[in-house]
Amino acid sequence: MLAVLSPGQGSQKPGFLTPWLDLPGAEARLRWWSALAGIDLARLGTEGDADEIRDTARTQPLLVAAALLAAEQLPMYDVTVTAGHSVGELAAAALAGVLTPETAVTLAGVRGREMAAACALEPTGMSAVMGGDRNEVLAAVESHELHLANSNGAGQLVIAGSMDRLAKFAANPPAGTKVIALKVAGAFHTPYMAPAEQALAAMAAGITPTDPSRILLSNADGAAVNHGREMLQRLVRQVTAPVRWDQCIRGLVDLGVTAVIELPPAGTLSGLIKRELKGTGSVPEIVTLNTPDDLAAARDLIARHGAPSEHEPAMQFRVVVAGTAGTFAPVEGLVEGAAIESGQVVGHVSTRQGDVEVTAHGGGVLTEWLAHHDDPVAPGQPLARIGGQLS
């Protein structure tokens, strides 16, 4: 099973888009997306210096556009899982079919501008905290009235808040930790971004999302999201909520992902995965896609680890996944070959808190059970495959 990952802010490098503009149609594509984002993406990705492309209002649409531009060169129909880090979730949602590329770029432009405006309201920042005991670090964060912004795995947390409180935290850090001030404009993924969340919610209210056509993991908790409307709501809430990339990594492992392609500018997420899973025997084969020269390796990886093309072009297969851990039970009497309606309950997962219904997010035919009665399941684990005609 193969996953395609979209990186977030901080992964950008000056000139990283330059080699991609040599591909047929790439420059025209960027001109169209630039009109939607309200900035010159081609110029920023080729000529913008480090300070210019660090500007939140510019960085966010630039990263989403770069990921989507590269993904257009891949056989995405054989990709099973998508996920993105922070603003990278917009690109991942587009790759999963929840948003159109145009909608993703437009939302990234709004998100970037509004988060930059929120950063200007008062001096805030972020710091990376490496090592130490997680519970002790979180207790210290709370005692300093700071916020957890990212839990990235591999012993890396990112905290955020007012500059003076961050300075006091760094002056007396928890035992065994190293604190590094980050060069960012403000306290992303915290309540300081509430005005940006409100603005993004107003824009999202006019969008009609589509249910994902492949497994899409959420930054909120690493769970697979079945419904487009829910994913859109999560994308909005994530502006003020911490990014749980550690749980996304766990989701990849639980799904049995054996290979990963990180879209440009690649390297950050791959590094986190390698460090988090080192010594576990679960490290996937990874391709970091940074230039068109890497496309051959990425396509080869998809050919070896991607889902087989087992359907006609006119058919679409949706995977129903577990939203939580527990024990699965299909609806009694529901057999392969049965007609399924959108929203129909196909089973439930028994947890300590009670039963959680599993519903189909698209109509079609139940082509295959992937889990059976009393099977233990993990969040995001595929349970059934439903086939239907493309609309």
For the chain, residues classed under CATH 2.40.50.100 are 315-389
Q: Is 189 a catalytic residue?
A: yes
CATH 3.30.70.250 fits 120-181, yes or no: yes
CA separation for the pair 339, 239 (Å, rounded): 39
For the chain, residues classed under CATH 3.30.70.250 are 120-181
Please state the pTM of the whole predicted model.
0.79
Strands across the sheet containing 345-351: 354-359, 345-351, 326-330, 375-377
Nearest to 287 by CA among 308, 267, 257: 267
Peptide bond into 265 cis (omega under 30): yes
- Kindly give the pairing relationship between strand 326-330 and strand 375-377: antiparallel
Name which CATH class applies to 2-118+191-305: alpha beta
Annotated catalytic residue within 86, 127, 213, 270: 86
- Which uninterrupted H or E stretch holds 25? none
Per-residue pLDDT of the chain (391 residues; tens, 9 = 90+): 999 999 999 899 999 999 999 998 899 999 999 999 999 999 999 999 999 999 999 999 999 999 999 999 999 989 999 999 999 999 999 999 999 999 999 999 999 999 999 999 999 999 999 999 999 999 999 999 999 999 999 889 999 999 999 999 999 999 999 999 998 889 999 999 999 999 999 999 999 999 999 999 999 999 899 899 999 999 999 999 999 999 999 999 989 999 999 999 999 999 999 999 998 888 999 999 999 999 999 999 999 998 753 333 334 567 787 877 889 999 999 998 899 988 899 999 999 888 999 888 778 889 889 888 998 987 767 788 887 643 3
Q: Is 348 a catalytic residue?
A: no
Beta bridge partners of 359: 345
> In CATH, what number does 315-389 get?
2.40.50.100
For the chain, residues classed under CATH 3.40.366.10 are 2-118+191-305
Annotated catalytic residue within 85, 144, 189, 227: 189
